[in-house]
Amino acid sequence: MKKLAILGALVLVYMSATPVRSAELVPQDARPYPSDLLARVRIAAAAIPGALPSRINYLKMAESHRPLADIIEGGSQENFVSARTAFQVVYVAGNWVMIDSGMDQTVHKFFGFGRDEPYWADRNAAVQEAVRNASLVVMTHEHGDHIAGAIRTDARKDIAARTVLTREQVRTLIQYPQMPEIRLTPEMARDYIVVDYESYLPIAPGIVLIKAPGHTPGHQMVYVRIDSGTEYLFIGDVAWSLTNVTQSKLRPAVTMRRISESAPALMHQLSWIKEAMDQEKLIVIPSHDDTLLQSLAAKHVIGAQLFRR
């Protein structure tokens, strides 16, 4: 996609204009999102010239099974299927942007806590093919199930040249990686497109990153508007289930302590996401809500197969 070349100049502007800040592992000064943020994001979505995307696809390469009590405060012991996913934003010209990058089985086993949970190597291979052929790759955050496909691969340098990481994501991956398998060295980090932005950043026609630290220091959401006018908000792991959003409930305290999350930051994000969904009718997509993703695919709101050239 020729228009994505504009990203390079845009990144340089943001990197030169924004000072490097020392950041704690979780944000210490969580604030509500400004009331006009979505309006500004919508304007930013048109900042990079070019045709808007035409559709959204996703693929699930693995599952983790947890009781709802681990997913949402006050949840039951009913089983929750946590889908391990990657998303593909497809343009009419046949190019695409990937949101997250899949993971190999070694990384998947980290999340099983000793349990043998479903993993489909052929689906992850399809995700890796899509990552290798993407015009751009962005990460919702720096956890292994989202980022490993852009690190643990023989094609890492080629993929890195088209992968956008935030400065916070890189800092975590160098200093405090979730697992040794996804650690970056400073030398490796130089291979990636590293950006620093204050609130939001347009990266391609119709696609805007929105800063959302709290689950991790480098967590961000991804706003996408397609050519039909439909708007999507990929919220990564701000919430693992859409029910977290609709009920304005966080994960239970024991889960949040294990992950070292910021409850104030996540509550501000949930509030803003719920308002965008209820009042502005954005389609909100958590990365792991298997029931929601299957429902959206059945309604043809998203595709359940990745586009291939």
Which residues are 166's β-sheet partners?
195
pLDDT at position 113 is 85
Q: Is the pLDDT of residue 14 over 80?
A: no
Residue pLDDT, tens place only, 172-200: 999 999 999 999 999 999 999 999 999 99
Q: How far apart are the C-alpha atoms of 112 and 106, rounded to whole Å?
A: 10
Residue at 28: amino acid letter: Q
* pLDDT tens digits for range 106-152: 999 999 888 999 999 999 999 999 999 999 999 999 999 999 999 99
- Tens of pLDDT along 29-85? 688 999 999 999 999 999 999 999 999 999 999 999 999 999 999 999 999 999 999
**Sole residue written with tokens 């916070």:** 168
Residue 162 has pLDDT above 60, yes or no: yes
Residue 296 in tokens: 């959206």
pLDDT at 12: 36
- What is the pLDDT, as a whole number, of residue 15? 36
Q: How far apart are CA 140 and CA 217, in angstroms?
A: 11
* Closest to 170 in 3D by CA, of 149, 199, 198, 191: 191
Tell me what pLDDT residue 22 has. Answer: 31
Average pLDDT, integer, range 89-96: 95
Angstrom distance (rounded) from CA 207 to CA 140: 13
Average confidence (pLDDT) over 1-14? 43
Residue 289 has pLDDT above 70, yes or no: yes
- Flag whether pLDDT at 167 surpasses 90: yes
**pLDDT for res 144:** 97
pLDDT digits (tens, 9 = 90+) for 203-259: 999 999 999 999 999 999 999 999 999 999 999 999 999 999 999 999 999 999 999
Alpha-carbon torsion, ordered 48, 51, 57, 61, to 10 deg? -40
Mean pLDDT score, 78-97: 97
Cβ atoms of 105 and 143 closer than 8 Å: no
- Is the pTM value of this prediction over 0.85? yes
What 3-state DSSP class applies to 213? Answer: coil
Fold of 30-298: Metallo-beta-lactamase; Chain A (3.60.15)
Would you state the pLDDT for residue 11? 43
Give the domain ranges of the chain. Answer: 30-298
Q: Supply the pLDDT for residue 309.
A: 79
In angstroms, rounded to a whole number, what is the distance separating the alpha carbons of residues 256 and 101? 24
